[in-house]
Structure 1
């Protein structure tokens, strides 16, 4: 018999953020590291491309701000979800307190990233 009133779960929210963070980290972060960490320092970019004024203009534009926030926040949600479930796999059962702590850390990092970016503009 099918349960007509199943218990609601908040796991789809956390798994969604976990998936988005993992995808972002796997697809966008390597390109960001390549451009900002390798190509830029080697001098293969125009010297003005990474100037302070251009970077601030990028980070304060709404699309640039969303990019910077997503680059920080989404991998953090991914990592903290992984920590939460990793602790369970290691038989460290922290229960609801561990879950709240892990996701509070991810939320705090996301909020700090957003606050910092929006204070620039």
Structure 2
């Protein structure tokens, strides 16, 4: 998947309506046709990433050298904090940790959006109570 596919499928897992342009994805809530379209990029913006994690039910755990994101039935992504060496490059603003977190959340949600679609927790055969 390329980055636009990742963003599109992640928005789908969060139950957002998407409009795809050449270089960007715009979203709005699926249940509100009068809501304005807004740019959406959880790979670049922390706020979009946090909203995506909450909406798509992605669990994130931070460790010393990596971030793990898990959601649903078998979607898991792990990204390391690259180039973090306190002696050479102090990561004072946690840029690499935030980048790894955004990437893990977006790719994990994209797997769910691709395989199960919107509101995956209602349709997943492993999580349904009547199954």
TM-score normalised per structure 2: 0.29
Greater fraction helix: 1
- Of the two structures, which has the highest relative contact order with CA contacts closer than 8 Å and spacing of 6 or more? 1
**Structure possessing the higher radius of gyration over alpha carbons:** 1
Greater fraction strand: 2
